[in-house]
Structure 1
Amino acid sequence: MEPDNFPALYRSADGSAADAQGTYLWLIRSQYLLLTVAATISIWFGGSPDLYIGYALVLAASTGLLLYMAVQKPEKDWYGCRALAESIKTSTWRYMMRAEPFEDAPKLSDVAGKFSDFLKAILDANSHVRDSISRRPVTGDQITDQMNAVRALPLAERIQKYQADRITDQREWYVAKVKWNRRHFRLWIILCVVVQGGAIALAILRIRYDPPWMIWPTEPLLVIASSVVGWIQLKKFNELASAYNLTAHEIGILQTRLGTIDSEEKFSAFVNEAERAFSREHTQWVARQIESAS
Protein backbone atom coordinates (compact mmCIF):
# COMPACT_ATOMS: atom_id res chain seq x y z
CA MET A 1 0.00 0.00 0.00
CA GLU A 2 1.06 3.57 -0.64
CA PRO A 3 2.07 5.67 2.40
CA ASP A 4 -0.85 8.04 1.80
CA ASN A 5 -3.22 5.19 2.62
CA PHE A 6 -1.81 4.81 6.13
CA PRO A 7 -2.75 6.96 9.15
CA ALA A 8 -1.52 10.55 9.17
CA LEU A 9 0.37 9.83 12.40
CA TYR A 10 2.32 7.07 10.62
CA ARG A 11 3.33 9.39 7.78
CA SER A 12 4.40 12.06 10.26
CA ALA A 13 6.48 9.60 12.30
CA ASP A 14 7.95 7.99 9.18
CA GLY A 15 8.96 11.36 7.72
CA SER A 16 10.37 12.53 11.05
CA ALA A 17 12.44 9.35 11.34
CA ALA A 18 13.90 9.92 7.86
CA ASP A 19 14.70 13.55 8.71
CA ALA A 20 16.30 12.62 12.04
CA GLN A 21 18.35 9.88 10.42
CA GLY A 22 19.59 12.27 7.76
CA THR A 23 20.54 14.87 10.38
CA TYR A 24 22.35 12.36 12.57
CA LEU A 25 24.38 10.86 9.73
CA TRP A 26 25.19 14.34 8.40
CA LEU A 27 26.57 15.28 11.82
CA ILE A 28 28.72 12.13 11.90
CA ARG A 29 30.08 12.84 8.41
CA SER A 30 30.81 16.45 9.40
CA GLN A 31 32.75 15.20 12.43
CA TYR A 32 34.89 12.93 10.26
CA LEU A 33 35.43 15.72 7.72
CA LEU A 34 36.55 18.24 10.34
CA LEU A 35 39.07 15.78 11.81
CA THR A 36 40.42 15.05 8.33
CA VAL A 37 40.78 18.79 7.62
CA ALA A 38 42.62 19.26 10.93
CA ALA A 39 45.00 16.43 10.11
CA THR A 40 45.60 17.92 6.65
CA ILE A 41 46.39 21.35 8.10
CA SER A 42 48.91 19.77 10.48
CA ILE A 43 51.00 18.69 7.48
CA TRP A 44 52.08 22.30 6.97
CA PHE A 45 52.95 23.05 10.59
CA GLY A 46 56.04 25.23 10.85
CA GLY A 47 54.85 27.66 8.22
CA SER A 48 52.52 30.63 8.66
CA PRO A 49 51.04 31.25 12.14
CA ASP A 50 47.66 31.44 10.43
CA LEU A 51 47.85 27.66 10.00
CA TYR A 52 47.81 27.19 13.76
CA ILE A 53 44.81 29.50 14.06
CA GLY A 54 42.98 27.57 11.35
CA TYR A 55 43.92 24.28 13.00
CA ALA A 56 42.59 25.49 16.35
CA LEU A 57 39.35 26.74 14.79
CA VAL A 58 38.72 23.45 13.02
CA LEU A 59 39.35 21.47 16.21
CA ALA A 60 37.10 23.87 18.14
CA ALA A 61 34.33 23.30 15.60
CA SER A 62 34.83 19.53 15.87
CA THR A 63 34.71 19.70 19.67
CA GLY A 64 31.59 21.87 19.60
CA LEU A 65 29.91 19.39 17.26
CA LEU A 66 30.88 16.51 19.54
CA LEU A 67 29.42 18.27 22.59
CA TYR A 68 26.23 19.10 20.70
CA MET A 69 25.72 15.45 19.75
CA ALA A 70 26.50 14.29 23.30
CA VAL A 71 23.95 16.67 24.83
CA GLN A 72 21.18 16.67 22.22
CA LYS A 73 21.52 12.98 21.24
CA PRO A 74 19.89 13.45 17.79
CA GLU A 75 20.05 9.71 17.17
CA LYS A 76 17.33 9.17 19.78
CA ASP A 77 14.80 11.05 17.64
CA TRP A 78 15.65 8.73 14.76
CA TYR A 79 15.22 5.55 16.81
CA GLY A 80 12.09 6.81 18.59
CA CYS A 81 10.29 8.01 15.46
CA ARG A 82 11.16 4.82 13.58
CA ALA A 83 9.86 2.66 16.43
CA LEU A 84 6.65 4.72 16.56
CA ALA A 85 6.12 4.50 12.80
CA GLU A 86 6.58 0.73 12.77
CA SER A 87 4.22 0.26 15.73
CA ILE A 88 1.54 2.22 13.89
CA LYS A 89 2.17 0.31 10.67
CA THR A 90 1.78 -3.10 12.27
CA SER A 91 -1.38 -1.94 14.09
CA THR A 92 -2.79 -0.64 10.81
CA TRP A 93 -2.33 -4.02 9.16
CA ARG A 94 -4.03 -5.70 12.09
CA TYR A 95 -6.95 -3.30 11.69
CA MET A 96 -7.27 -3.88 7.94
CA MET A 97 -7.05 -7.67 8.29
CA ARG A 98 -9.61 -7.75 11.16
CA ALA A 99 -6.99 -9.36 13.38
CA GLU A 100 -7.17 -9.27 17.17
CA PRO A 101 -7.67 -6.81 18.85
CA PHE A 102 -9.51 -5.30 15.86
CA GLU A 103 -11.68 -8.26 14.96
CA ASP A 104 -15.25 -7.91 13.70
CA ALA A 105 -17.76 -5.97 15.79
CA PRO A 106 -21.45 -5.14 15.31
CA LYS A 107 -20.50 -1.59 14.34
CA LEU A 108 -17.39 -0.44 12.45
CA SER A 109 -17.38 2.67 14.61
CA ASP A 110 -16.66 0.49 17.64
CA VAL A 111 -13.53 -0.95 16.00
CA ALA A 112 -12.52 2.48 14.70
CA GLY A 113 -12.78 3.86 18.21
CA LYS A 114 -10.62 1.03 19.54
CA PHE A 115 -8.01 1.73 16.82
CA SER A 116 -8.02 5.46 17.66
CA ASP A 117 -7.48 4.65 21.33
CA PHE A 118 -4.65 2.32 20.32
CA LEU A 119 -2.96 5.10 18.35
CA LYS A 120 -3.25 7.46 21.29
CA ALA A 121 -1.72 4.84 23.60
CA ILE A 122 1.18 4.32 21.20
CA LEU A 123 1.76 8.06 20.96
CA ASP A 124 1.61 8.46 24.75
CA ALA A 125 4.15 5.65 25.14
CA ASN A 126 6.47 7.51 22.77
CA SER A 127 5.91 10.99 24.16
CA HIS A 128 9.65 11.74 23.93
CA VAL A 129 9.34 12.15 20.14
CA ARG A 130 6.36 14.51 20.18
CA ASP A 131 8.56 17.52 19.41
CA SER A 132 10.13 15.75 16.42
CA ILE A 133 6.74 14.82 15.00
CA SER A 134 5.36 18.31 15.58
CA ARG A 135 8.08 19.69 13.29
CA ARG A 136 6.68 17.61 10.43
CA PRO A 137 2.89 18.01 10.54
CA VAL A 138 0.83 15.85 8.19
CA THR A 139 -2.82 16.37 7.36
CA GLY A 140 -5.20 13.51 6.72
CA ASP A 141 -7.29 10.88 8.44
CA GLN A 142 -6.01 8.47 11.05
CA ILE A 143 -8.32 5.84 9.52
CA THR A 144 -8.24 6.27 5.75
CA ASP A 145 -10.86 5.20 3.23
CA GLN A 146 -8.42 2.64 1.82
CA MET A 147 -7.98 1.07 5.23
CA ASN A 148 -11.73 0.59 5.58
CA ALA A 149 -12.01 -0.61 1.98
CA VAL A 150 -9.43 -3.33 2.59
CA ARG A 151 -11.07 -4.27 5.88
CA ALA A 152 -14.39 -4.73 4.07
CA LEU A 153 -12.94 -7.30 1.63
CA PRO A 154 -13.95 -10.97 1.92
CA LEU A 155 -11.55 -13.27 3.75
CA ALA A 156 -9.99 -14.75 0.59
CA GLU A 157 -9.25 -11.31 -0.86
CA ARG A 158 -7.82 -10.04 2.43
CA ILE A 159 -5.52 -13.07 2.58
CA GLN A 160 -4.37 -12.32 -0.97
CA LYS A 161 -3.90 -8.64 -0.11
CA TYR A 162 -1.89 -9.46 3.01
CA GLN A 163 0.29 -11.92 1.15
CA ALA A 164 1.10 -9.52 -1.69
CA ASP A 165 1.34 -6.16 0.08
CA ARG A 166 2.65 -7.21 3.47
CA ILE A 167 4.30 -10.65 3.54
CA THR A 168 5.90 -10.65 0.09
CA ASP A 169 6.68 -6.95 0.18
CA GLN A 170 8.35 -7.22 3.58
CA ARG A 171 10.31 -10.32 2.62
CA GLU A 172 11.60 -8.68 -0.57
CA TRP A 173 12.60 -5.60 1.47
CA TYR A 174 14.65 -7.72 3.87
CA VAL A 175 16.32 -9.67 1.05
CA ALA A 176 17.22 -6.42 -0.73
CA LYS A 177 18.64 -5.02 2.52
CA VAL A 178 20.74 -8.17 3.03
CA LYS A 179 22.32 -7.70 -0.41
CA TRP A 180 22.76 -3.95 0.11
CA ASN A 181 24.47 -4.32 3.49
CA ARG A 182 26.81 -7.08 2.32
CA ARG A 183 27.77 -5.14 -0.80
CA HIS A 184 28.45 -1.95 1.13
CA PHE A 185 30.40 -3.81 3.81
CA ARG A 186 32.75 -5.15 1.13
CA LEU A 187 33.12 -1.74 -0.49
CA TRP A 188 33.97 0.05 2.78
CA ILE A 189 36.41 -2.70 3.78
CA ILE A 190 38.16 -2.37 0.41
CA LEU A 191 38.34 1.41 0.83
CA CYS A 192 39.80 1.03 4.32
CA VAL A 193 42.44 -1.43 3.09
CA VAL A 194 43.37 0.87 0.19
CA VAL A 195 43.73 3.93 2.44
CA GLN A 196 45.71 2.10 5.09
CA GLY A 197 47.82 0.48 2.39
CA GLY A 198 48.58 3.96 1.06
CA ALA A 199 49.69 5.10 4.51
CA ILE A 200 51.93 2.02 4.86
CA ALA A 201 53.46 2.63 1.44
CA LEU A 202 54.20 6.27 2.30
CA ALA A 203 55.80 5.23 5.60
CA ILE A 204 58.08 2.72 3.84
CA LEU A 205 58.94 5.21 1.10
CA ARG A 206 59.79 7.85 3.68
CA ILE A 207 62.49 5.60 5.16
CA ARG A 208 64.62 5.87 2.01
CA TYR A 209 63.43 9.14 0.53
CA ASP A 210 62.61 12.07 2.83
CA PRO A 211 63.69 15.45 1.41
CA PRO A 212 62.88 18.52 3.57
CA TRP A 213 60.47 19.97 1.04
CA MET A 214 58.36 16.81 0.66
CA ILE A 215 54.84 16.77 2.15
CA TRP A 216 53.73 13.38 3.46
CA PRO A 217 49.94 13.05 3.90
CA THR A 218 50.22 10.08 6.29
CA GLU A 219 48.19 11.67 9.11
CA PRO A 220 45.16 12.56 6.93
CA LEU A 221 45.18 9.04 5.50
CA LEU A 222 45.14 7.54 8.99
CA VAL A 223 42.24 9.81 10.01
CA ILE A 224 40.34 8.80 6.87
CA ALA A 225 40.98 5.11 7.62
CA SER A 226 39.78 5.59 11.21
CA SER A 227 36.65 7.35 9.89
CA VAL A 228 35.93 4.45 7.56
CA VAL A 229 36.26 1.98 10.44
CA GLY A 230 33.95 4.18 12.53
CA TRP A 231 31.41 4.31 9.69
CA ILE A 232 31.45 0.52 9.34
CA GLN A 233 30.84 0.14 13.07
CA LEU A 234 28.10 2.77 13.01
CA LYS A 235 26.21 1.24 10.08
CA LYS A 236 26.66 -2.36 11.30
CA PHE A 237 26.58 -3.73 7.73
CA ASN A 238 27.46 -7.34 8.59
CA GLU A 239 25.30 -7.53 11.70
CA LEU A 240 22.26 -6.11 9.91
CA ALA A 241 22.77 -8.43 6.93
CA SER A 242 22.71 -11.47 9.24
CA ALA A 243 19.66 -10.23 11.19
CA TYR A 244 17.72 -9.33 8.04
CA ASN A 245 18.59 -12.65 6.41
CA LEU A 246 17.24 -14.54 9.42
CA THR A 247 14.02 -12.49 9.40
CA ALA A 248 13.56 -13.06 5.65
CA HIS A 249 13.75 -16.82 6.20
CA GLU A 250 11.30 -16.57 9.10
CA ILE A 251 8.85 -14.70 6.87
CA GLY A 252 9.29 -17.34 4.17
CA ILE A 253 8.39 -20.08 6.63
CA LEU A 254 5.32 -18.13 7.75
CA GLN A 255 4.26 -17.60 4.14
CA THR A 256 3.96 -21.36 3.52
CA ARG A 257 1.11 -21.51 6.04
CA LEU A 258 -1.14 -19.03 4.23
CA GLY A 259 -2.65 -21.78 2.08
CA THR A 260 -4.00 -23.60 5.14
CA ILE A 261 -6.05 -20.65 6.45
CA ASP A 262 -9.81 -21.13 6.03
CA SER A 263 -11.34 -19.06 8.83
CA GLU A 264 -11.25 -15.60 10.34
CA GLU A 265 -9.86 -17.00 13.59
CA LYS A 266 -6.94 -18.73 11.88
CA PHE A 267 -6.21 -15.65 9.79
CA SER A 268 -6.27 -13.41 12.85
CA ALA A 269 -3.79 -15.68 14.62
CA PHE A 270 -1.57 -15.77 11.53
CA VAL A 271 -1.55 -12.00 11.09
CA ASN A 272 -0.68 -11.44 14.74
CA GLU A 273 2.16 -13.96 14.54
CA ALA A 274 3.52 -12.33 11.38
CA GLU A 275 3.25 -8.84 12.83
CA ARG A 276 5.02 -9.96 15.99
CA ALA A 277 7.88 -11.20 13.82
CA PHE A 278 8.10 -7.83 12.07
CA SER A 279 7.84 -5.95 15.37
CA ARG A 280 10.50 -8.12 16.98
CA GLU A 281 13.01 -7.26 14.27
CA HIS A 282 12.32 -3.53 14.57
CA THR A 283 12.52 -3.72 18.37
CA GLN A 284 15.86 -5.51 18.14
CA TRP A 285 17.07 -2.94 15.61
CA VAL A 286 16.27 -0.08 18.00
CA ALA A 287 17.96 -1.97 20.85
CA ARG A 288 21.11 -2.50 18.75
CA GLN A 289 21.24 1.18 17.83
CA ILE A 290 20.79 2.33 21.44
CA GLU A 291 23.44 -0.13 22.63
CA SER A 292 25.95 1.11 20.05
CA ALA A 293 25.22 4.75 21.01
CA SER A 294 25.70 4.10 24.75
Structure 2
Amino acid sequence: MTPEDYPALFHSADESSVAAQSSYLWLIRLQYGLLITAATVALWFDNAPALLLVYAFIVGASTALLIYMSVKKPEKDWYGCRALAESIKTSTWRYMMRSEPFEDVPQVSSVKQKFAAFLKGILDANSHVRDSISRRPKMGDQITPKMNEIRALPLEERREFYRTKRILEQRNWYVRKVKTNRRHFLGWIAFCILIQGSAIVLALIRSRYTEGWSIWPAEPLLVVASAAIGWIQIKKFNELASAYSLTAHEIGIIQTRISDVTSESEFSEFVNESERAFSREHTQWVARQND
Protein backbone atom coordinates (compact mmCIF):
# COMPACT_ATOMS: atom_id res chain seq x y z
CA MET A 1 0.00 0.00 0.00
CA THR A 2 1.32 3.41 -1.01
CA PRO A 3 -0.03 6.63 0.51
CA GLU A 4 -1.91 7.30 -2.74
CA ASP A 5 -3.96 4.13 -2.19
CA TYR A 6 -5.66 5.55 0.91
CA PRO A 7 -8.77 7.80 0.87
CA ALA A 8 -8.36 11.47 0.01
CA LEU A 9 -9.53 12.41 3.51
CA PHE A 10 -6.57 10.48 4.93
CA HIS A 11 -4.15 12.61 2.90
CA SER A 12 -5.74 15.84 4.13
CA ALA A 13 -5.61 14.71 7.75
CA ASP A 14 -2.07 13.32 7.42
CA GLU A 15 -0.66 16.47 5.80
CA SER A 16 -2.49 18.67 8.31
CA SER A 17 -1.00 16.68 11.18
CA VAL A 18 2.54 16.93 9.77
CA ALA A 19 2.17 20.67 9.17
CA ALA A 20 0.70 21.29 12.64
CA GLN A 21 3.46 19.27 14.28
CA SER A 22 6.15 21.18 12.40
CA SER A 23 4.60 24.55 13.32
CA TYR A 24 4.25 23.62 16.98
CA LEU A 25 7.82 22.37 17.32
CA TRP A 26 9.19 25.45 15.55
CA LEU A 27 7.29 27.66 17.99
CA ILE A 28 8.90 25.72 20.85
CA ARG A 29 12.33 26.18 19.27
CA LEU A 30 11.65 29.90 18.87
CA GLN A 31 10.63 30.14 22.53
CA TYR A 32 13.87 28.50 23.64
CA GLY A 33 15.90 30.60 21.20
CA LEU A 34 14.47 33.83 22.61
CA LEU A 35 15.25 32.79 26.18
CA ILE A 36 18.82 31.80 25.28
CA THR A 37 19.29 35.09 23.42
CA ALA A 38 17.96 37.06 26.39
CA ALA A 39 20.36 35.29 28.76
CA THR A 40 23.26 36.01 26.38
CA VAL A 41 22.36 39.70 26.00
CA ALA A 42 22.26 40.03 29.80
CA LEU A 43 26.00 39.32 29.94
CA TRP A 44 26.78 42.75 28.47
CA PHE A 45 24.57 44.91 30.71
CA ASP A 46 27.51 46.40 32.61
CA ASN A 47 29.34 47.44 29.43
CA ALA A 48 26.30 48.55 27.43
CA PRO A 49 23.29 49.61 29.51
CA ALA A 50 21.35 50.33 26.29
CA LEU A 51 21.07 46.59 25.85
CA LEU A 52 18.47 46.62 28.62
CA LEU A 53 15.95 47.75 26.00
CA VAL A 54 16.94 44.89 23.71
CA TYR A 55 16.66 42.50 26.63
CA ALA A 56 13.20 43.82 27.51
CA PHE A 57 12.05 43.45 23.90
CA ILE A 58 13.27 39.85 23.67
CA VAL A 59 11.68 38.85 26.97
CA GLY A 60 8.48 40.61 25.90
CA ALA A 61 8.45 38.67 22.62
CA SER A 62 8.99 35.44 24.53
CA THR A 63 6.13 36.28 26.88
CA ALA A 64 3.81 37.12 23.98
CA LEU A 65 4.70 33.81 22.31
CA LEU A 66 3.99 31.95 25.55
CA ILE A 67 0.57 33.59 25.83
CA TYR A 68 -0.21 32.80 22.18
CA MET A 69 0.66 29.12 22.60
CA SER A 70 -1.30 28.88 25.84
CA VAL A 71 -4.42 30.37 24.26
CA LYS A 72 -4.28 28.87 20.75
CA LYS A 73 -2.87 25.48 21.79
CA PRO A 74 -1.43 24.73 18.31
CA GLU A 75 -0.47 21.22 19.39
CA LYS A 76 -4.17 20.26 19.49
CA ASP A 77 -4.37 20.29 15.70
CA TRP A 78 -1.36 17.99 15.55
CA TYR A 79 -2.94 15.44 17.89
CA GLY A 80 -6.44 15.74 16.42
CA CYS A 81 -5.39 15.41 12.78
CA ARG A 82 -3.11 12.49 13.56
CA ALA A 83 -5.93 10.71 15.42
CA LEU A 84 -8.25 11.31 12.46
CA ALA A 85 -5.68 10.03 9.93
CA GLU A 86 -5.06 6.86 11.92
CA SER A 87 -8.80 6.23 12.33
CA ILE A 88 -9.23 6.50 8.56
CA LYS A 89 -6.29 4.17 7.96
CA THR A 90 -7.62 1.45 10.25
CA SER A 91 -11.09 1.76 8.68
CA THR A 92 -9.51 1.42 5.23
CA TRP A 93 -7.86 -1.85 6.19
CA ARG A 94 -11.12 -3.16 7.61
CA TYR A 95 -12.82 -2.31 4.33
CA MET A 96 -10.16 -3.99 2.20
CA MET A 97 -10.11 -7.13 4.36
CA ARG A 98 -13.95 -7.38 4.40
CA SER A 99 -13.83 -7.13 8.14
CA GLU A 100 -16.77 -6.06 10.29
CA PRO A 101 -18.53 -3.66 9.77
CA PHE A 102 -17.57 -3.97 6.09
CA GLU A 103 -18.06 -7.71 5.71
CA ASP A 104 -18.97 -9.24 2.35
CA VAL A 105 -22.52 -8.67 1.04
CA PRO A 106 -24.22 -9.38 -2.30
CA GLN A 107 -24.30 -5.68 -3.22
CA VAL A 108 -20.86 -4.07 -3.01
CA SER A 109 -22.48 -0.65 -3.38
CA SER A 110 -24.06 -0.99 0.05
CA VAL A 111 -20.63 -1.57 1.61
CA LYS A 112 -19.25 1.47 -0.19
CA GLN A 113 -22.11 3.56 1.18
CA LYS A 114 -21.44 2.22 4.65
CA PHE A 115 -17.74 3.10 4.36
CA ALA A 116 -18.59 6.62 3.14
CA ALA A 117 -20.96 7.05 6.08
CA PHE A 118 -18.25 5.74 8.38
CA LEU A 119 -15.80 8.36 7.11
CA LYS A 120 -18.37 11.08 7.65
CA GLY A 121 -18.93 9.85 11.19
CA ILE A 122 -15.20 9.93 11.92
CA LEU A 123 -14.95 13.44 10.50
CA ASP A 124 -17.94 14.61 12.56
CA ALA A 125 -16.38 13.14 15.70
CA ASN A 126 -13.24 15.19 14.99
CA SER A 127 -14.99 18.41 14.02
CA HIS A 128 -12.43 20.47 15.98
CA VAL A 129 -9.88 19.90 13.21
CA ARG A 130 -12.16 20.72 10.28
CA ASP A 131 -10.46 24.08 9.72
CA SER A 132 -7.02 22.50 9.50
CA ILE A 133 -8.20 19.86 7.05
CA SER A 134 -10.13 22.33 4.92
CA ARG A 135 -6.87 24.19 4.21
CA ARG A 136 -5.49 21.06 2.51
CA PRO A 137 -8.26 19.66 0.30
CA LYS A 138 -7.55 16.62 -1.86
CA MET A 139 -9.34 15.69 -5.07
CA GLY A 140 -8.72 11.91 -4.96
CA ASP A 141 -11.25 9.16 -4.33
CA GLN A 142 -12.45 8.26 -0.87
CA ILE A 143 -12.58 4.64 -2.01
CA THR A 144 -9.58 4.12 -4.26
CA PRO A 145 -9.21 1.50 -7.03
CA LYS A 146 -6.50 -0.23 -4.97
CA MET A 147 -8.88 -0.62 -2.04
CA ASN A 148 -11.45 -2.34 -4.25
CA GLU A 149 -8.77 -4.44 -5.92
CA ILE A 150 -7.54 -5.80 -2.59
CA ARG A 151 -11.07 -6.33 -1.32
CA ALA A 152 -11.86 -8.51 -4.36
CA LEU A 153 -8.97 -10.91 -3.66
CA PRO A 154 -9.60 -14.44 -2.30
CA LEU A 155 -9.20 -15.00 1.43
CA GLU A 156 -5.71 -16.50 1.19
CA GLU A 157 -4.36 -13.58 -0.83
CA ARG A 158 -6.00 -10.99 1.41
CA ARG A 159 -4.60 -12.74 4.47
CA GLU A 160 -1.07 -12.71 3.03
CA PHE A 161 -1.45 -9.09 1.95
CA TYR A 162 -2.56 -8.13 5.45
CA ARG A 163 0.35 -10.04 7.01
CA THR A 164 3.04 -8.42 4.87
CA LYS A 165 1.65 -4.95 4.17
CA ARG A 166 -0.05 -4.22 7.46
CA ILE A 167 1.27 -6.36 10.31
CA LEU A 168 4.93 -6.64 9.25
CA GLU A 169 5.19 -3.04 8.09
CA GLN A 170 3.54 -1.82 11.28
CA ARG A 171 5.87 -3.91 13.43
CA ASN A 172 8.95 -2.72 11.53
CA TRP A 173 7.78 0.89 11.93
CA TYR A 174 7.54 0.50 15.70
CA VAL A 175 10.96 -1.20 15.90
CA ARG A 176 12.53 1.66 13.93
CA LYS A 177 10.85 4.20 16.19
CA VAL A 178 12.15 2.42 19.30
CA LYS A 179 15.73 2.65 18.03
CA THR A 180 15.33 6.26 16.89
CA ASN A 181 13.80 7.49 20.15
CA ARG A 182 16.40 5.74 22.28
CA ARG A 183 19.22 7.16 20.17
CA HIS A 184 17.80 10.67 20.40
CA PHE A 185 17.24 10.33 24.15
CA LEU A 186 20.85 9.31 24.77
CA GLY A 187 22.10 12.06 22.46
CA TRP A 188 20.17 14.80 24.22
CA ILE A 189 21.16 13.50 27.66
CA ALA A 190 24.82 13.57 26.59
CA PHE A 191 24.35 17.13 25.30
CA CYS A 192 22.82 18.23 28.62
CA ILE A 193 25.69 16.67 30.56
CA LEU A 194 28.21 18.41 28.30
CA ILE A 195 26.57 21.83 28.69
CA GLN A 196 26.08 21.56 32.44
CA GLY A 197 29.59 20.20 32.85
CA SER A 198 30.89 23.24 30.97
CA ALA A 199 28.97 25.51 33.35
CA ILE A 200 30.55 23.71 36.33
CA VAL A 201 34.03 24.09 34.88
CA LEU A 202 33.45 27.81 34.29
CA ALA A 203 32.26 28.23 37.88
CA LEU A 204 35.35 26.48 39.24
CA ILE A 205 37.66 28.56 37.05
CA ARG A 206 35.91 31.76 38.11
CA SER A 207 36.30 30.85 41.79
CA ARG A 208 40.09 30.76 41.37
CA TYR A 209 40.58 33.55 38.85
CA THR A 210 38.33 36.38 39.92
CA GLU A 211 40.27 38.87 37.82
CA GLY A 212 39.88 36.86 34.62
CA TRP A 213 37.26 37.38 31.94
CA SER A 214 34.79 40.20 32.30
CA ILE A 215 32.06 37.97 30.85
CA TRP A 216 31.33 34.49 32.19
CA PRO A 217 28.71 32.68 30.05
CA ALA A 218 27.58 30.24 32.74
CA GLU A 219 24.00 31.55 32.85
CA PRO A 220 23.36 31.18 29.08
CA LEU A 221 24.77 27.66 29.28
CA LEU A 222 22.29 26.78 32.02
CA VAL A 223 19.44 28.20 29.92
CA VAL A 224 20.61 26.04 27.00
CA ALA A 225 20.65 22.98 29.27
CA SER A 226 17.17 23.83 30.56
CA ALA A 227 15.92 24.16 26.98
CA ALA A 228 17.41 20.77 26.13
CA ILE A 229 15.71 19.18 29.14
CA GLY A 230 12.44 20.80 28.11
CA TRP A 231 12.87 19.41 24.58
CA ILE A 232 13.38 15.91 25.99
CA GLN A 233 10.17 16.26 28.01
CA ILE A 234 8.20 17.53 25.01
CA LYS A 235 9.40 14.79 22.67
CA LYS A 236 9.16 12.09 25.38
CA PHE A 237 11.88 10.03 23.72
CA ASN A 238 12.34 7.46 26.49
CA GLU A 239 8.64 7.07 27.24
CA LEU A 240 7.77 6.59 23.57
CA ALA A 241 10.60 4.08 23.11
CA SER A 242 9.20 1.94 25.93
CA ALA A 243 5.62 2.18 24.65
CA TYR A 244 6.63 1.41 21.06
CA SER A 245 8.69 -1.56 22.20
CA LEU A 246 5.71 -3.09 23.99
CA THR A 247 3.50 -2.51 20.96
CA ALA A 248 6.07 -4.14 18.66
CA HIS A 249 6.03 -7.24 20.88
CA GLU A 250 2.22 -7.26 20.90
CA ILE A 251 2.15 -7.08 17.10
CA GLY A 252 4.66 -9.95 16.99
CA ILE A 253 2.28 -12.06 19.06
CA ILE A 254 -0.60 -11.14 16.76
CA GLN A 255 1.51 -12.08 13.74
CA THR A 256 1.97 -15.66 14.96
CA ARG A 257 -1.79 -16.25 14.95
CA ILE A 258 -2.61 -15.24 11.39
CA SER A 259 -1.65 -18.62 9.91
CA ASP A 260 -4.43 -20.25 11.97
CA VAL A 261 -7.12 -18.14 10.28
CA THR A 262 -9.02 -20.32 7.80
CA SER A 263 -12.44 -18.68 7.29
CA GLU A 264 -13.89 -15.26 6.50
CA SER A 265 -15.47 -14.95 9.93
CA GLU A 266 -12.20 -15.83 11.68
CA PHE A 267 -10.30 -13.41 9.49
CA SER A 268 -12.79 -10.63 10.18
CA GLU A 269 -12.39 -11.16 13.91
CA PHE A 270 -8.60 -11.33 13.58
CA VAL A 271 -8.40 -8.08 11.59
CA ASN A 272 -10.63 -6.25 14.04
CA GLU A 273 -8.52 -7.44 16.96
CA SER A 274 -5.33 -6.39 15.20
CA GLU A 275 -6.69 -2.97 14.28
CA ARG A 276 -7.86 -2.43 17.85
CA ALA A 277 -4.29 -3.11 19.00
CA PHE A 278 -2.93 -0.54 16.53
CA SER A 279 -5.61 1.98 17.51
CA ARG A 280 -5.06 1.40 21.22
CA GLU A 281 -1.41 2.42 20.97
CA HIS A 282 -2.32 5.55 19.04
CA THR A 283 -5.09 6.46 21.47
CA GLN A 284 -2.62 6.11 24.32
CA TRP A 285 -0.13 8.27 22.40
CA VAL A 286 -2.70 11.07 22.05
CA ALA A 287 -3.54 10.77 25.74
CA ARG A 288 0.17 11.01 26.65
CA GLN A 289 0.56 14.12 24.52
CA ASN A 290 -2.44 15.72 26.23
CA ASP A 291 -1.15 15.00 29.73
Relative to the length of structure 1, the TM-score reads: 0.98
Extract unaligned runs of 5+ from structure 2.
none
Corresponding residue for residue 106 of structure 1: 106
Corresponding residue for residue 162 of structure 1: 162
Q: Choose 109-118 or 205-214, whichever is displaced more.
A: 205-214
In 2, distance between residues paired with 1:266 and 1:213? 75
Matched residues, number: 291
1:271-286 superposed matches below 5 A: 271-286=271-286
Corresponding residue for residue 8 of structure 1: 8
SS at match of 2:50: helix
Matched, 1:241 2:246: no
1:98-177 superposed matches below 5 A: 98-177=98-177
Corresponding residue for residue 180 of structure 1: 180
Letter in 1 for 2:211: P
Q: Choose 210-219 or 78-87, whichever is displaced more.
A: 210-219
SS at match of 1:283: helix
Corresponding residue for residue 47 of structure 2: 47
Report the alpha carbon displacement of residue 139 of structure 1 after superposing the two structures with TM. Answer: 1.2
Extract unaligned runs of 5+ from structure 1.
none
Corresponding residue for residue 265 of structure 2: 265
In 1, distance between residues paired with 2:2 and 2:209? 63
In 2, distance between residues paired with 1:288 and 1:91? 23
Equivalent pair of 2:206/2:212 in contact (CA under 8 Å) = no
Moved over 3 A (4+): none
In 1, distance between residues paired with 2:113 and 2:13? 21
Matched, 1:58 2:34: no
In 2, distance between residues paired with 1:137 and 1:204? 59
Deviations 1:107-165 (A, max 9, x none): 11000000000000000000000000011111111000100000000101101110111
Deviations 1:84-122 (A, max 9, x none): 000000000000000000000111100000000000000
Relative to the length of structure 2, the TM-score reads: 0.99
In 2, distance between residues paired with 1:282 and 1:107? 33
In 2, distance between residues paired with 1:156 and 1:212? 78
Matched, 1:88 2:72: no
Deviations 1:205-230 (A, max 9, x none): 10011226521001100000000110
In 2, distance between residues paired with 1:212 and 1:188? 31
In 1, distance between residues paired with 2:253 and 2:48? 67
Q: Using the aligned pairs only, state the percent identity.
A: 67
Letter in 2 for 1:228: A
Letter in 2 for 1:138: K
SS at match of 1:257: helix
Corresponding residue for residue 256 of structure 2: 256
